[in-house]
Structure 1
Amino acid sequence: MGDIAKGALGGAWTLLVGWILPTALNLALFFLTVAPSLQGLAPLNRLRPATGGGTALLFLTGSLLLGLVANAGQNPLYRLLEGYLLWPAVAYEAGCRRSRRAKAALADRLSLLRLERREREAGELPPEDAERLTRLREQPHTERAARRDRRRTAAQRALVHERLARYPIADDQIAPTRLGNAIRRFEEYGHDRYRLDTQVLWNELTGCVPDQVRRQVEIARTSVDFFVALLYGHAVVCFLAVLTLATAHPDTSMLWSTVVVLVLLVPVWYRSAVTSTDEWAAAVRAMVNIGRKPLADALGLKLPDQLAKEREMWTMVSRLSRIPYHERASALDRYRAAGEGGPT
Structure 2
Amino acid sequence: MGWILPAAVNLSVFFFAVAPSLPSTTPFSQIWPTTGANATLVLLSGSVVLGLVLNALQNPLYRVLEGYLLWPSRLYERGCARRRHHKWDLQDRLRLLRLQRRLQASIHLPALAQADLTRLGHHPRIARAAQRDRRRTAAQRALLREKLRRYPVDDAQIAPTRLGNGIRRFEEFGYDRFRLDTQILWNELTGAAPEQARRQVDLARTSVDFFIALLAGHAVVLAAAVVAVSTTGDRVAALTGTAISLGCLVPVWYRSAVAATDEWTAAVRALVNLGRKPLAEGLGLILPEELEEERAMWALVSKLSRVPYGDGATALDPYRAVPLPPPTPTA
String of CA shifts for 1:59-117, please: whole Å, max 9, x gaps: 00000000000000000000000000000000000000001000000000000011112
Q: Is the 8 A contact 2:21 2:235 kept in 1?
A: yes
Change in CA separation of 1:85 and 1:222 when aligned onto 2, cut-off 3 Å: same
TM-score by length of 2: 0.96
Q: How does 1:4-153 map to 2 (within 5 A)?
A: 17-38=1-22, 40-41=24-25, 43-153=27-137
1:249 deviation in Å?
4.0
Aligned-partner residue type, residue 51 of structure 2 = G
Change in CA separation of 1:253 and 1:308 when aligned onto 2, cut-off 3 Å: same
String of CA shifts for 1:107-150, please: whole Å, max 9, x gaps: 00000011112222344311111011100001111111111111
Question: In structure 2, what is the Cα distance between the partners aligned to 1:139 and 1:207?
Answer: 50
Aligned length: 325
Change in CA separation of 1:55 and 1:303 when aligned onto 2, cut-off 3 Å: same
Which residue does the alignment assign to 1:194?
178
Q: Is the 8 A contact 1:189 1:285 kept in 2?
A: yes
Change in CA separation of 1:218 and 1:132 when aligned onto 2, cut-off 3 Å: same
**Pick aligned residue for 1:283 from 247, 250, 267:** 267
1:262 deviation in Å?
1.0
**Pick aligned residue for 2:140 from 137, 150, 156:** 156
Question: In structure 2, what is the Cα distance between the partners aligned to 1:340 and 1:177?
Answer: 51
Which residue does the alignment assign to 1:231?
215
Question: In structure 1, what is the Cα distance between the partners aligned to 2:271 and 2:278?
Answer: 11
Which residue does the alignment assign to 2:285?
301
2:187 is the alignment partner of 1:203: yes
Change in CA separation of 1:69 and 1:139 when aligned onto 2, cut-off 3 Å: same
Question: In structure 2, what is the Cα distance between the partners aligned to 1:123 and 1:248?
Answer: 71
Q: Which stretch of the first structure deviates more once superposed, 246-255 or 64-73?
A: 246-255
Question: In structure 2, what is the Cα distance between the partners aligned to 1:26 and 1:340?
Answer: 58
Question: In structure 2, what is the Cα distance between the partners aligned to 1:169 and 1:152?
Answer: 25
- SS of equivalent residue, structure 1 residue 246: helix
**Pick aligned residue for 1:311 from 295, 307, 310:** 295
Question: In structure 1, what is the Cα distance between the partners aligned to 2:286 and 2:220?
Answer: 52
Which runs of 5 or more residues in structure 1 are unaligned? 1-16
Question: In structure 1, what is the Cα distance between the partners aligned to 2:233 and 2:175?
Answer: 58
Which residue does the alignment assign to 1:179?
163
Question: In structure 2, what is the Cα distance between the partners aligned to 1:232 and 1:298?
Answer: 39
Aligned-partner residue type, residue 333 of structure 1 = D
Q: Is the 8 A contact 1:119 1:125 kept in 2?
A: yes
Q: Is the 8 A contact 2:23 2:232 kept in 1?
A: no
Q: Is the 8 A contact 1:300 1:340 kept in 2?
A: no
Q: Is the 8 A contact 1:213 1:287 kept in 2?
A: yes
Change in CA separation of 1:332 and 1:61 when aligned onto 2, cut-off 3 Å: same
Question: In structure 2, what is the Cα distance between the partners aligned to 1:42 and 1:299?
Answer: 58
Q: Is the 8 A contact 1:27 1:63 kept in 2?
A: yes
Aligned-partner residue type, residue 105 of structure 1 = D
1:312 deviation in Å?
0.2
Which residue does the alignment assign to 1:267?
251
String of CA shifts for 1:181-201, please: whole Å, max 9, x gaps: 000000000000000000000
Which residue does the alignment assign to 2:328?
none
Q: Is the 8 A contact 1:40 1:249 kept in 2?
A: no
2:312 is the alignment partner of 1:324: no
Report percent identity of matched pairs: 61
Which runs of 5 or more residues in structure 2 are unaligned? 326-331
1:172 deviation in Å?
0.4
Aligned-partner residue type, residue 45 of structure 2 = T
**Pick aligned residue for 1:250 from 228, 231, 234:** 234
TM-score by length of 1: 0.92
Aligned-partner residue type, residue 153 of structure 1 = T
Tell me the C-alpha RMSD between the 2 structures: 1.3
1:286 deviation in Å?
0.3
String of CA shifts for 1:28-58, please: whole Å, max 9, x gaps: 1111210121263364333122321111000
1:315 deviation in Å?
0.2
